[in-house]
A and B are shown apart, each in its own frame.
Chain A
Amino acid sequence: MSSVWLPCGDYHENYLKDQGWWQSSFIKVKMILLLAVVFLGIPFLAPEYWIGVATMVGYTSMGALGVQLLIGYTGLVTLGHAAFIAVGAYTSTMMILQFPWPQFMVDLGLAYPVSILVAGIVAGLWSVLFGLPSAKVKGFYLILTTMAAQFITVDFILTQYVSQIGGRGQAFSLPPGTIKIGPFVMETEREIYFLMAVLLTLIVIGLANLLRSKPGRAWVAIRDNDIAAEALGINIVWYKLLAFFVAGFTAGIAGAFWVSNTAALSPEHFPFFLSLWLVGVILIGGVGSIHGAIFGSIFMVVIMELLQMAVIPLAAYYPKLLVDFAYIKDAAFGLAIAGFVIYEPNGLAYRWWQIKNYFNLWPFSY
């Protein structure tokens, strides 16, 4: 499902071309246009409010891409991804606040970028730790160990111990000016949006390349039939752990980015709900494709924003609605997941695929 049928008359002559990055000049133009919209169109034309929404979409996408890699490509169902985002966020914050940076690093604005990288690595290793049971267990038992990761990491270690460092109680806040990349201080919505766009683009490019190389093929083989994959000589434990590492790495980067978005941090930002939300996002977007994760994020975040906008005028007549909005949101999210799984199990990405095929094959769609 991942690749689209080619238009009549177009065909690939060799494997290299089949796996190519730009398969046709049309795709090249399309992707450059997309990048132009992301990097120029949204930040400079959209209103401030919608730039903030786009930033949330990007944050959700970064998290969802890790889940997509685990669930959609490797077949390892995870319900604890928020834990790894949290680990990334806390690693980054602790490094900025507590690490004795040499003065020139702070002046050059290198502290935050370095902490993003370290956050990715630490979250990746933490994810591997909880991926270890995947060597022996699978299916529902594995789901429960990832749930254990969520509760142990966020509800216990982060809430009870890490939050106490510095003696400021539950929440950390980052003083203004500490989140700085090179000469740019992350302050306005637009700067944060640019950081998100760069990170998300890098993650998407990295993942897409990984998925069309040896590890990616190994992951898909494990997803489709792990015993057959092992018989073909794929070291499944190694590749499963690699999948956990890469997913944890992207989660860590998402977490480190989250710090710049809020400039404050508390364990409540990473509840079990977030883990389930991310799985819901990829189910709605479509399991097993990168653009599925992004479609899902756009759909969920924008729908929730619209729901909120619909509630505010109604609240004038029915004030209780504002208080109850969180519950309505929960219920709507639940119904959306159940509805998509039951009636549209292939997600939005499948519709996208159909639309593209329709135009590729038009007018002779036989």
Chain B
Amino acid sequence: MELFLMTVTTGLMVGGIYALVALGWVLIYKCSGVLNLAMGELTLIGAYVTLTFYQMGVPFILAVVGTLLVGILLGILCERIFLDKLIGEPILSVIMVTVGMSFFFKGVVQFIWGSDTRVFDPPVFALKPIEIGFLKVSSVYLWSFILSILLLLIFVAFFKFTRWGLSMQATADDETAALSLGVSARFVYAAAWAIAFMSAGVGGALLGNINGINISVGYLGLLVLPAVVLGGLNSVPGAIAGGIIIGLLQNLSGTYLDQYFPGGVKEIVPFAFMAVFLLFKPYGLWGWERIERV
């Protein structure tokens, strides 16, 4: 029982990070219709940028803020350079541009930072686990969870209460109507990419604290795809729920299935679960069901 509860808490907390990255993904899709396969590399960039700031002696929280700023810059640049010209192109072109971006980023990141595993040194979070009642939670997970929930709340508040956030919501709902009301579509696209870079960057920094940073952080970023598919592609609450479900699934399968299927069952289960799930609910939990006509 204790093992079960520990697994669930850990899963929940890792799921919080996935939810944060998934939010960025869904935002791009909702606002500009781009299906982004480069999310893994965005988390990778975020992780390395935070690490670089941290090694220059900047406190962790300020390093994260710095990552957010770099994220804004890179997001706008990316949107302008790669995706601005592709609005309205077929789905395959857009996806392959993001695949091209992901290769490009992966190559550049490895060129700059090498392929060895790097860790935050000195460790950011205390190694001693924190005890809540009878539960022991390692402080990395707990703080990551708190930080990601905090950022999620900030982003949601941004959409609900600021002018920019509202214009993004309007574009996501009905682009033509939003354009006719004077919302600048190009601004919204750039903002969506900036926010995606920010959320993925912070997600990467937090993931990097758990296992150290190497190219496999990018793979963890790929886990976001099952998460958004479970939630339905165009639902922000769905993305958050999907992220948490994937985190839970991953840890539960790691604990309970590993003895029956030794090896990398933890990495596979989200994808296998998603493939089966799609057979029964082709539009995810809260996705829009499109009725197609000829």
Residues 21-41 of A, flagged 1 when their CB comes within 8 A of B and 0 if not, give 000000000000000000000
| B271 shortest CB reach to chain A, Å | 4
| B93 shortest CB reach to chain A, Å | 5
A276-B92 CB under 8 A given contacts A152-B271, A331-B107: no
**Interchain CA distance A326-B114 in the complex, whole Å:** 11
Interface size class of B (residues with CB under 8 A): 35 or more
Does B99 count as interface, using CB distance less than 8 angstroms?
Answer: yes
Contact B85 A335 (CB under 8 A): no
A143-B95 CB under 8 A given contacts A156-B264, A331-B104: yes
Q: A156, A336, A337: which contacts B265 (Cβ < 8 A)? A: A156
The B interface, classified by DSSP as helix, strand, loop or mixed, is helix
Q: B86, B111, B267, B293: which contacts A324 (Cβ < 8 A)? A: B111
Does B268 count as interface, using CB distance less than 8 angstroms?
Answer: yes
Q: Which of A160, A231, A280, A330 gathers the greatest number of chain B CB atoms within 10 Å?
A: A330
Chain B residue with Cβ nearest A136: B282
The A interface, classified by DSSP as helix, strand, loop or mixed, is helix
Does A159 count as interface, using CB distance less than 8 angstroms?
Answer: yes
Which of B117-125, B171-179, B273-281 lies at the interface with chain A?
B273-281
Which of B55-63, B69-77, B133-141, B225-233 lies at the interface with chain A?
B225-233
Q: B82, B103, B274, B293: which contacts A342 (Cβ < 8 A)? A: B82
Interface size class of A (residues with CB under 8 A): 35 or more
Contact B99 A145 (CB under 8 A): no
Contact A137 B282 (CB under 8 A): yes
Does B294 count as interface, using CB distance less than 8 angstroms?
Answer: yes
Top 8 closest A-B pairs, CB basis?
Answer: A331-B107, A334-B103, A334-B104, A330-B107, A338-B100, A337-B100, A160-B263, A148-B271
Q: Which residues of A does B touch, CB under 8 Å?
A: 71, 77, 130, 132-133, 136-137, 139-141, 143-145, 147-149, 151-152, 155-156, 159-160, 225, 227-228, 231, 276, 279-280, 283, 287, 324, 326-339, 341-342, 345
Q: 9 additional contacts, CB 8 Å, given A159-B264, A334-B102, A334-B106?
A: A144-B271, A145-B278, A147-B271, A149-B275, A156-B265, A280-B100, A324-B111, A341-B89, A342-B85
